[in-house]
């Protein structure tokens, strides 16, 4: 039997980690006040200091925090309210994340910014008209009293406008200062208030120059940048949130007497029967009782071709019924559906932190202290040069405004979310950001055969004579496993209407197969070596059964090569990637698959330990292998690979141990994942260059006095918008596979 029949691995640790005494529970908080990299450090430090918190990860792009807390029995210590209180003490408002709340909060934030933006724009335009009049009057000898009047009118417009329009920045800065910390809005608010205060002082003195036009225009541009940034964040919103927003809200429940009533989809329980009309979304996972239809599963699998379903077919929540009405018996609902499980995996992936994110976070932490020091140095330097406090303060204000950590803090998270969203749209789920980063660096690809190069729908060859009683007993063992050969045996027994018994205490032995002991007598199902069979007796057999009386039966199967397997291998090879095929199947079957896919380097009849050894050898040679295996029986090799990806049926998604899983029949998903990973790496580096280059160029220019506060505001807003827009571009960018590094 190819590789191993192994026990199903536990849920990923990002969801729930268990030990003998406690479990870890995930609590996700929405924190709308996250504005910069220093916020991430403060929030994570505050939460990690709470007793019972094992980990905390803040995400700037999504404005949320994922916290792992210990759970004792039914009690969670600490709970969400404790975490919210700890964040309130350091100046952040937070709430436990509720589905749709982030989207609603984003709309509220945008709705709050728009009227403030209008007021700031109105004030800036009118004050600019007055300023132009004053500038013209200087040429035409305007009377000083008229000039002072215009200055006072400008002050009357500017002061209430700035007080109202600048509140988003002032509130954030005040909350930070009350908590004895600094964030991005502190220097921004300081710059606005200094410009306004200096202008008011100059107006009272009757000076020729005031800066109300700069102060109001500054707030106007800052609000434009904040509004556009909010819009970009919504566009870069995680695939998980977009996915869960498409769930059915209500369901038509049909009772035993045939009456129907509408019920919330959340209230569905296993065993309920629901009627789904054409065009409706299926409200829960379940089995079709009556009806035939075509189901659009693109939301789950990325496949655009509808799947035909009939009585007995399993369907999933969120998919669309495209044909006739279906009566479905619910098996899972709400948070227990496949849709919810995929959402949890996607959320965990989007909030995971790769090495580039950690680098950006560390750099952004030094922003607030550095910008205040630079502003002070600018003011002191210009004062020493005898420029006067007004000009010195103006240049210092420009420095305070122009330095922006947002571009750096958003450089990688925005790319990460966009990449995972694109992959999810093609039926590929990446489980961690560091896995995506590693996939961008692979230089060789190692394939498993069964269920990887070939489709998982293996069939038992019908021309072999197998005793019905033997097939019944073997299928009764096989039904406890998800291995393709085991499932094929079960399907064959059912197709022949052979009874399958429920056998308890069946053990799966990694690398071997299945075993059942009763009254000290053992029966086995698995590889020839596991059951003690002589392969010469039936060289084409891939699965063997050893009965309780010692009789051996070999089963021969046929499996179909994936439609695009050969094309995928050719594309990888032409790009310079080394290709290998490692299989536990018999040599004849492996040779046929290798020949069909034009793979020259192949090995057959390998145990999991031998696959592991080969992966280790490749890494010892300096290679970075991508292991492509079925995710259930190739766990050691998948874990040993530099990166890994698994083809997985819907029920296997949460159990697969690979960095990523893909659904559907297309092996080209492997290349798609590699291309997106390579593009994401390139865009992350581009964003780093933009963010760092911006600060290296504009900060010295501002310190030298060549940038006004108005231009500084425009430049600061533009930098974060450019970085986020570059990341969003990944969703639609046409990609190509880059040559392997060893081939360059």
Element (H, E) at 277: none
CA distances from 575 to 81, 622, 672 (A): 53, 19, 14
Q: Give tens-digit pLDDT for 271-322.
A: 999 999 888 889 999 999 998 888 887 666 655 567 888 888 889 888 888 8
Q: In the chain, helix, strand, coil percent, each to 5?
A: 50, 15, 35
**pLDDT over threshold 90, residue 629:** no
The pLDDT, as a whole number, for residue 562 is 92
Task: Flag whether pLDDT at 100 surpasses 60.
Answer: no
Peptide bond into 78 cis (omega under 30): yes
With the C-alpha atoms ordered 491, 492, 493, 496, is the resulting torsion angle positive or negative? positive
Rounded to an integer, what distance in angstroms lies between the CA atom of residue 578 and that of residue 570? Answer: 11
Query: Which whole number is the average pLDDT over 512-535?
Result: 88
pLDDT digits (tens, 9 = 90+) for 236-247: 455 555 556 667
- Enter the tokens of residue 735: 């990609």
pLDDT at 491: 87
Q: Determine which of 12-26, 29-43, 135-149, 430-444 has the lowest per-residue pLDDT on average.
A: 12-26
Residue 678 binned pLDDT confidence (cut-offs 50, 70, 90): very high
HEC-encoded secondary structure of 444-464? EEEECHHHHHECCCCEECCCC
How many other CB atoms sit within 10 Å of the CB of residue 245? 13
Residue 7 pLDDT grade (very low, low, confident, very high; cuts 50, 70, 90): very low
Hey, which of 56-60, 84-88, 415-419 has the most confident mean pLDDT? 84-88
**d(Cα 34, Cα 230) in Å, to the nearest integer?**
12
- Side-chain half-sphere CA neighbours of 620 within 13 A: 6
The residues, ordered by sequence, that sit 6+ positions from 346 with a Cβ below 8 Å of its Cβ are: 238, 239, 240, 243, 420, 424, 429
| Contact (Cβ atoms closer than 8 angstroms) between residue 531 and residue 545 | yes
Confidence tier at 360 by pLDDT (50, 70, 90): low
Query: 279 or 600, which is more confident?
Result: 600
| Concatenated DSSP letters of 123-160 | HHHHHHHHHHHHHHHHHTT--HHHHHHHHHHHHHHHHH
Residue 677 pLDDT grade (very low, low, confident, very high; cuts 50, 70, 90): very high
Q: What is the mean pLDDT of the chain?
A: 81
Percent of the chain with pLDDT over 70: 81
Confidence of residue 223 (pLDDT cuts 50, 70, 90): confident
Q: Of the residues 448, 559, 630, 659, which is catalytic?
A: 448
Active site residue 495: no
Domains and CATH numbers, the chain: 23-97 (3.30.70.100), 103-238+348-413+688-730 (no CATH), 261-336 (2.70.150.10), 416-453+561-677 (3.40.50.1000), 459-558 (3.40.1110.10)
Contact 491, 459 (CB under 8 A): yes
Which one has a higher pLDDT value, 213 or 674? 674
Distance in angstroms (rounded) separating the CA atoms of residues 172 and 164: 14
């Amino acid at each position: 039997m190819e590789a191993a029949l192994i026990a199903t691995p536990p849920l990923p640790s990002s969801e729930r980690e268990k030990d003998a005494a406690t479990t870890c529970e995930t609590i996700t908080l929405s924190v709308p006040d996250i504005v910069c990299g220093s916020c991430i450090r403060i929030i994570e430090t505050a939460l990690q200091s709470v007793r019972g918190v094992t980990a905390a990860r803040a995400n700037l792009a999504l404005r949320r925090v994922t916290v792992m807390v210990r759970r004792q029995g039914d009690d969670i210590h600490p709970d969400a309210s404790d975490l919210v209180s700890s964040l309130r003490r350091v100046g952040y408002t937070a709430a436990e994340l509720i589905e749709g709340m982030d989207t609603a909060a984003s709309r509220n934030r945008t709705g709050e910014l728009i009227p403030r933006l209008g007021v700031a724009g109105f004030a800036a335009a009118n004050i600019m008209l007055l300023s132009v009049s004053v500038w013209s009057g200087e040429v035409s000898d305007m009377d000083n009293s008229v000039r002072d009047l215009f200055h006072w009118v400008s002050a009357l417009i500017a002061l209430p406008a700035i007080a109202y329009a600048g509140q988003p920045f002032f509130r954030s800065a005040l909350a930070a200062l009350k908590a004895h910390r600094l964030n991005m809005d502190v220097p921004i608010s300081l710059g606005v208030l200094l410009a306004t205060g200096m202008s008011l002082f100059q107006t009272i003195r009757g000076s020729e120059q005031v800066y109300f036009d700069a102060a109001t225009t500054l707030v106007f541009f800052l609000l434009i940048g904040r509004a556009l940034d909010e819009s970009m964040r919504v566009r870069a919103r995680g695939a998980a949130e977009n996915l869960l927003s498409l769930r059915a809200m209500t369901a038509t429940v049909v009772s035993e007497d045939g009456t129907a009533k509408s019920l919330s989809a959340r209230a569905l329980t296993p065993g309920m029967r629901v009627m789904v009309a054409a065009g409706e979304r299926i409200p829960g996972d379940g089995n079709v009782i009556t009806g035939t239809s075509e189901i659009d599963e693109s939301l789950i699998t990325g496949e655009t071709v509808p799947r035909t379903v009939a009585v007995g077919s399993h369907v999933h929540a969120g998919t669309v019924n495209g044909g006739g009405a279906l009566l479905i018996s619910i098996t899972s609902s709400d948070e227990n559906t496949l849709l919810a499980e995929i959402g949890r995996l996607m959320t965990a992936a989007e909030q995971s932190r790769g090495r580039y994110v950690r680098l950006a976070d560390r750099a952004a932490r030094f922003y607030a202290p550095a910008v205040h020091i630079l502003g002070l140095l600018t003011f002191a330097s210009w004062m020493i040069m005898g420029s006067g406090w007004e000009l010195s303060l103006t240049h210092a204000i420009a420095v305070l405004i122009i330095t922006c950590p947002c571009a750096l803090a958003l450089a990688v998270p925005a790319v990460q979310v966009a990449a995972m969203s694109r992959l999810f749209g093609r039926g590929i789920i990446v489980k961690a950001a560091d896995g995506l980063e590693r996939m961008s660096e692979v230089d060789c690809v190692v394939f498993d055969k069964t269920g990887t190069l070939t489709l998982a729908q293996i069939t038992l060859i019908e021309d072999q004579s197998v005793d019905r009683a033997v097939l019944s007993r073997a299928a009764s063992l096989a039904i406890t496993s998800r291995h393709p050969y085991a499932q094929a045996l079960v399907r064959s027994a059912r197709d022949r209407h052979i009874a399958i018994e429920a056998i308890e205490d069946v053990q799966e032995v990694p690398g071997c197969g299945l075993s059942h002991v009763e009254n000290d007598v053992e029966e086995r199902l698995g590889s020839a070596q596991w059951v003690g069979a002589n392969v010469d007796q039936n060289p084409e057999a891939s699965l063997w059964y050893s009965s309780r009386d010692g009789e051996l039966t070999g089963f021969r199967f046929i499996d179909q090569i994936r439609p695009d397997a050969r094309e995928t291998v050719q594309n990888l090879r032409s790009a310079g990637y080394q290709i290998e095929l490692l299989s536990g199947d018999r040599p004849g079957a492996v040779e046929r698959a290798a020949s069909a896919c034009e793979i020259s380097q192949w090995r057959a009849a390998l145990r999991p330990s031998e696959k592991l050894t080969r992966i280790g050898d490749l890494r010892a040679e300096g290679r970075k292998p991508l292991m492509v295996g079925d995710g259930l029986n190739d766990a050691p090799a998948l874990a040993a690979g530099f990166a890994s990806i698994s083809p997985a049926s819907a029920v296997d998604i949460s159990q697969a141990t690979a960095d990523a899983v893909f659904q559907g029949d297309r092996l080209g998903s492997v290349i798609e994942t590699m291309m997106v990973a390579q593009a994401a790496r390139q865009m992350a580096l581009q964003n780093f260059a933009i963010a760092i280059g911006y600060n290296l160029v504009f900060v010295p220019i501002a310190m030298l006095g060549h940038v006004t506060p108005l231009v500084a505001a425009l430049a600061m807003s533009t930098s974060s918008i450019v970085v986020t827009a570059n990341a969003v571009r990944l969703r639609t960018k046409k990609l190509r596979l880059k040559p392997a590094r060893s081939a360059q």
